[in-house]
Amino acid sequence: ADMFANEEGGPEPDWVITEREQFSDFRDLNKDGKMDKEEIQHWILPQDYDHALAEARHLVYESDVDKDQRLTKEEVLDNWNMFVGSQATNYGEDLTRNHDEL
């Protein structure tokens, strides 16, 4: 109710519709209308999901201003807060070490 108070006859926000679709299409694997322990485990820790690759793609997508799939030094520096706050950089610790590729 804090996020969405369903008013009688009122339209649902787009995000609620999207979440319902995600639930029915991907999370409720046995289609019983609720999530059991195995479905929750698959949702939280999917076996076919590469977290490092997903985080790297996220950083490039958010920081690549000219959308050339390459990050310039300026693009990285302009988005330093995203890199410092990322698991990919060990929350900034890896940025303090010398790297040949930089």
Residue 65: inside a domain: yes
Question: What local confidence, expressed as pLDDT, does residue 99 receive?
Answer: 64
Kindly state whether residues 60 and 33 are assigned to the same domain: no
Q: How many domains does the chain have?
A: 2
Q: Is the pTM of this model over 0.75?
A: no
What is the structure's pLDDT at 27? 93
| Domain range enclosing 31 | 14-44
Q: DSSP letter at 31?
A: -
Q: Take residue 95 and report the two structure tokens written for it.
A: 């940025």
For position 95, what pLDDT does the model report? 62
> Which residues of the chain fall below pLDDT 70?
1-2, 88-89, 91-92, 94-95, 98-102
Whole-number Å distance between alpha carbons of 83 and 49 = 21
Phi, psi of 23 (to 5 degrees): -60, -55
Quick check: 56 and 87 in contact, CB under 8 A? no
Look at residue 23 in the predicted model and tell me its pLDDT.
Answer: 94
List all residues 6 or more positions away from 16 whose beta carbon is below 8 Å from its beta carbon.
4
